[in-house]
Amino acid sequence: MTIAIFLFFVFFTLGLSWWLGRRAKTASGYFAAHGQVGWFVNGIAFAGDYLSAASFLGICGMIAFYGYDGFLYSIGFLAGWVVALFVIAEPIRKLGKFTFADALSAKFSNSRGITLAAAISTLIVSVFYLIPQMVGAGSLIKPLLGLEHHWGVLLVGSVVITIVVTAGMVSTTWVQFIKGSMLVVFCAILVVAILANGVRKIDGFDKNAFIENTPPGKKSPPILVNNPGPDGAVGPLEYIRTFSDSTFEQYSRPAKTTDRLPELTGPTVVQGSSLLLPGGYFSGVRSEKWIDRMDFVSLMLALFCGTAALPHILIRYYTVKDPTAARKSTVVGIMSIGFFYLLTLYIGLGAMVSGNTDPRDSNMSAPLLAKVFGAFPFALISAIAFTTVLGTVSGLILAASGAVAHDLIEVVGKRKLKDHAKVGAAKVAALTVGVIAVILGILFKDFNASFLVGWAFNIAASANLPAIVMILFWKGTTRQGVIASILTGLITSLAWLLLSGPAFKEIYKLNPADAIVPFSQPGLVTIPLAFITLIIVSHLTRRREPITN
């Protein structure tokens, strides 16, 4: 039944996408749905775009494994929408046409330099955002269809490329609308089931089998050992209080040093109240050194500034007819996304106490929690999660293909394409970006999806946000200043991430203590750096080229 429901969802999505895609023959239809999407549909589609594998699989998984720190992503991801709504939404809708680069270059007579820099930034941010979606898809396929991680990534890659190549923004919008609605509704139902179940483990929990799956160099997720509270159904606040009063234990497996799997150590007793504080994952928060705590500050800043600078979110402002509709759809988006993020706390904690998680893969915690309530909820939640990945990846690939076809070929390359040629070029670009994402999704399979999305937020916030904000609010901004700011933010944030502890540990398999940068999240340094660069370069070049409005 699981496979039947799953296949139904995939074919339904593909069918709907193909049917709606027939209406998008022009470039305006392909990239921006003719700018005629209703504000409510667009608002829920915002939620569909935004509630990606990172929000659903990644956050719930991080809460299930580390407690409160996963919820920091929920707080930060939503806070970013405040910047989007109050600062960016309406002005950006007035400036653009198809892409983020359009908006940036509009005040500089469609500068080719800005368009080139913005297109490169769009491509890199999109690819970094695509990686965790692919990682999430691979995690999902393993228990669902019994296939290895890389087959899951390949399957998602193929389906999404088909969707984007055969469709465009109209169908992507509707896929996101349906997916966003279902995700919020079914997660709400899941939370009701969690509260009805109370704070207790699944029947027949096999502790030995559970801790044996702990990978080398990792801790097992917390295991509930004592719950002093009520055994049955509880209310939302009582659930948190009971969790806080409960006791958990964790086992650790030292990093592998020989061919033999090292023995487990533990248990370490952990109080529920401690799991409801920051520092379980971002351990620097609990450090005595100030520099260690900056990792947390940097992450929260990047999440705050990143949302409004994500290309696949920005292009959704062009699918509505005017700035008022952009504002209304953002409000609808914030309401549905905010409600969903409240649910993630309960889904994550519910997964932790149930014990039905896989210590090797945090990303599967939410679907495995659904399995506690039966095969049907598991199939349904897995299918929704898979559709979530499909929808988000479609939007991202669409943004990237727009950057190539519209920005790079037409504006930078000065090749005026006819509508069908432009759409054709976008489809070739979609195929290329999709293949790159599949390869990277296989390489990054050991990362938590939220953590990887945090990287994309850092890059977007560093490369794009300073340029957007200064164009909108500072008349002294010059073309050269914008270009310098985008490139500075892009290069420094990328370099920082690739020289950070997590990259040393998970990508290069080196000791993370040898990392070159002092903390892993670059935003705290690279966002101000991009702002300063823009201001200095604009001052140096202002006389020759003032802003044209």
Partner 1 sequence: MSESPLGKKPIRHRSTNQNLGLVLFAVYCLFYFGFIVVTVYDYTLLSTELFAGVNLAVIYGIGLILLAILLAVIYAFLARPDPQEPTEAAEI
Q: What is the DSSP string of 492-528?
A: HHHHHHHTSHHIIIIIS---GGG-SSSSS--HHHHHH
Count of CB atoms situated within 10 Å of the CB of 415: 12
Our CB check for partner 1 shows the closer of 41 and 425 to be 41
CB nearer to partner 1: pick between 91 and 266: 91
**254-263: Cβ within 8 A, 24+ apart:** 254/216, 254/217, 255/216, 255/217, 256/216, 256/217, 261/216, 262/216
| Residue 159 beta carbon to partner 1: minimum distance, rounded to whole angstroms | 23
User: Residue 250's beta-bridge partner residues?
Assistant: 268
Which CB atom, from 166 or from 432, has the smaller least distance to partner 1?
Answer: 166
Q: Which residue in the block uniquely carries the two structure tokens 């706390």?
A: 345
* Smallest distance, partner 1 to C-beta of residue 180, A: 16
Q: Closer CB to partner 1, residue 68 or residue 386?
A: 68
| Residue 112 vs 286, nearer CB to partner 1 | 286
Nearer to partner 1, 8 or 473 (CB): 473
The minimum distance between CB 83 and partner 1, in angstroms, equals 7
Q: Which is nearer to partner 1, 216 or 236 (CB)?
A: 236
Cβ proximity to partner 1: between 345 and 456 the closer is: 345
Cα(382)–Cα(365) distance, integer angstroms = 11
State in angstroms the smallest separation of the CB of 231 from partner 1.
Answer: 17
Q: How far is the CB of 325 from partner 1 (least distance, A)?
A: 6
**CB of residue 172 vs partner 1: minimum separation in angstroms?**
12
Residue number with CB closer to partner 1 (341 or 504): 341
Instruction: Record the tokens describing residue 113, joined without a space.
Output: 């330099």
Interaxial angle between packed helices 479-498 and 523-541, expressed in degrees from 0 to 180 and rounded to the nearest 10: 160
For residues 71 and 59, the answer to whether their CB atoms sit within 8 Å is yes
Amino acid at position 452, single letter? L
Task: Say if residues 430 and 398 touch (Cβ distance below 8 Å).
Answer: yes
260, 216 Cβ separation under 8 angstroms:
no
- Provide, rounded to whole angstroms, the least separation between the CB of residue 211 and partner 1: 28
317 or 504: whose CB is closer to partner 1?
317
**Tokens, residue 67:** 């407690």
* Min CB(319)–partner 1 separation in Å: 9
CB 215 within 8 A of CB 445: no
Shortest distance in whole angstroms from residue 320 CB to partner 1: 8
The CB-of-77 to partner 1 minimum distance in angstroms stands at 10
Q: Which two tokens stand for residue 159?
A: 């389906």
Sign of CA dihedral 153, 157, 158, 160: positive
Looking at the Cβ atoms of 83 and 398, the one nearer to partner 1 is 83
CB of 38 to partner 1, least distance (A): 4
463 membership: H or E segment, kind and range:
helix 449-463
Q: Are 368 and 216 in contact (CB under 8 A)?
A: no
Task: Give the side-chain half-sphere CA count within 13 A for 433.
Answer: 35
Closest alpha carbon to 124 in 490, 516, 538, 548: 490
Q: CA–CA distance from 98 to each of 116, 353, 400, 534 (Å)?
A: 15, 46, 12, 24
For residue 266, which phi and psi values (nearest 5 degrees)? Answer: 130, -170
- The CA-CA-CA angle for residues 69, 297, 491, to 5°, reads 110
- Residue whose CB is less far from partner 1, 171 or 382: 171
Q: State CA 236 to chain mean position distance.
A: 26
Nearest distance, CB of residue 347 and partner 1, angstroms = 14
| Residues contributing to the site for partner 1 (CB under 8 A) | 33-34, 36-39, 41, 68, 71-72, 74-75, 78-79, 81-83, 85-87, 90-91, 94, 107, 170, 173-174, 237-238, 240-241, 244-245, 273, 276-279, 285-286, 293, 296-297, 300-301, 304, 321-325, 327-328, 330-331, 334-335, 338-339, 341-342, 345, 549
What are the backbone angles phi and psi of residue 189, rounded to the nearest 5°?
Answer: -65, -40
Shortest Å distance, C-beta 37 to partner 1: 5
Spatial distance between the Cα atoms of 351 and 333, rounded to a whole number of angstroms: 26
Q: DSSP characters for 145-209?
A: H---HHHHHHHHHHHHHHHHHH--HHHHHHHHHHHHHHHHHHHHHHHHHHHHH-S-PPTT--HHH
Distance, C-alpha 258 to centroid of its chain: 36
